């Protein structure tokens, strides 16, 4: 049976031979990226890699704790004067904080939106279940939430010093020692760093896939790089509480 979808009498039909003068508006790049699952994942990958780069710098700076109070405190002071006189005092620091806040919010919002969509796309699982994927892959969502909570705690502990009882502003070395002199300070921090290692183990490789760098021949190298990055960051960060606990740093 033939069904006429459009007849000449169709009022919505454009008059023949007269192309519309206005071409369809080009969708904006940012808008179409954020709307699509592929684009939103790319936002997660880019923000994740920015945070990862920051964490490498942060870890290296933390290791200055082994060089003594003057070195670490001097570095903290230098950070606040960076960019002067072109930037005001602490100007660079606030720019970096703003950039990091933006990346973590974008990353978290995209993760939440994509996760909701993913769960809705598989409303019913299989009665016969199998073990799926690696531990790091399966824990990206809850591991991410743990990292988000840790970031809040970490800022309250060593930036605003709200939850750090024996802390003094301007003395990061002493404050770090104070944090890792409590059992809960060590427990929270070490748990979070193990979660970070897992997140990066899947995240770095995943970001390479998302941004279009994944190829069968390159897969092993990318996975190795992800594992090395995860191990170096986790060990580097955990060295500080271990140093305080063992008395190497006091």
Partner 1 sequence: MRLTLRIWRQRGPEEPGALTTYEVNGISPEMSFLEMLDTLNEELILAGDEPIAFDHDCREGICGACGMVINGQAHGPERTTTCQLHMRHFADGDTIDVEPWRAAAFPVVKDLVVDRSAFDRIIGSGGFVSVPTGSAPDAHATPVPKPVADLAFEHAECIGCGACVAACPNGSAMLFTSAKVVHLNSLPQGAPERESRVLDMVGTMDDEGFGGCTNTGECAVACPKGIPLQSISRMNREFLRAGLKGGGRAD
Give the binding site for partner 1 (CB under 8 A): 23-24, 26-27, 29, 32-33, 35-42, 114, 117-130, 132-133, 137, 140, 202, 205-206, 208-216, 219
By C-beta, is 15 or 123 nearer to partner 1? 123
Cα separation, 166 vs 220, in Å, equals 47
> DSSP class of residue 182?
S
By C-beta, is 73 or 137 nearer to partner 1? 137
Which of 59, 65, 72, 147 binds ligand HEM (CB under 6 A)? It is: 147
Counting contacts by CB under 6 A, is residue 83 touching ligand HEM? no
By C-beta, is 145 or 163 nearer to ligand HEM? 145
By C-beta, is 167 or 198 nearer to ligand HEM? 198
For residue 118 the two structure tokens come to: 């993913």
Instruction: Report the partner that residue 64 touches, choosing among partner 1, ligand HEM, none (CB closer than 5 to 8 A by kind).
Output: none
> What is the dihedral sign for C-alpha 229, 235, 236, 241?
positive
Residue whose tokens read 């993760």: 111
Instruction: Report the partner that residue 49 touches, choosing among partner 1, ligand HEM, none (CB closer than 5 to 8 A by kind).
Output: ligand HEM
Q: Which long-range contacts (CB under 8 A, 24 or more apart) does 239-244 make?
A: 239/63, 239/66, 240/62, 240/63, 240/65, 240/176, 240/180, 241/180, 241/185, 241/186, 241/189, 241/190, 243/65, 243/66, 244/176, 244/177, 244/180, 244/181
Counting contacts by CB under 6 A, is residue 197 touching ligand HEM? no
For residue 84 the two structure tokens come to: 């002067």
Residue 227: its H or E element: helix 219-245
Q: Which stretch binds ligand HEM (CB under 6 A): 82-90, 136-144, 168-176, 234-242?
A: 136-144
Please report, as ranges, the residues that interact with ligand HEM according to CB under 6 A: 41, 44-45, 48-49, 51-52, 55, 104, 107-108, 111, 115, 140-141, 144-145, 147-148, 199-200, 203-204, 206-207, 210
């Amino acid at each position: 049976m033939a069904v006429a979808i459009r007849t000449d009498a169709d009022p919505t039909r454009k008059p023949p031979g007269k192309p519309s003068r206005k071409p369809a508006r080009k969708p904006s790049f940012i808008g179409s990226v954020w709307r699509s699952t592929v684009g939103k994942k790319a936002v997660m990958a880019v923000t994740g890699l920015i945070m990862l780069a920051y964490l490498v710098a942060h870890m290296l700076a933390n290791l200055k704790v082994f060089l003594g109070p003057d070195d670490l405190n001097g570095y903290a002071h230098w950070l606040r004067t960076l960019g002067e006189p072109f930037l005001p005092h602490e100007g660079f620091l606030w720019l970096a904080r703003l950039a990091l806040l933006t990346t973590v919010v974008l990353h978290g919002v995209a993760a939440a939106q994509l996760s909701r969509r993913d769960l809705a796309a598989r409303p019913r699982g299989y009665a016969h279940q199998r073990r799926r994927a690696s531990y790091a892959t399966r824990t990206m969502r809850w591991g991410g939430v743990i990292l988000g909570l840790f970031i809040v705690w970490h800022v309250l502990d060593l930036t605003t010093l709200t939850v750090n009882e024996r802390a003094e502003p301007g003395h990061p070395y002493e404050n770090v020692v104070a944090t890792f002199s409590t059992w809960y300070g060590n427990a929270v921090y070490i748990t979070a760093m193990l979660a970070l290692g897992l997140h990066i183990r899947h995240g770095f490789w995943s970001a390479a896939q998302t941004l279009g760098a994944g190829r069968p021949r390159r897969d092993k190298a990318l996975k190795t790089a992800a594992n090395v990055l995860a191990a170096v960051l986790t060990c580097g960060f955990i060295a500080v509480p271990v140093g305080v606990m063992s008395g190497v740093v006091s």
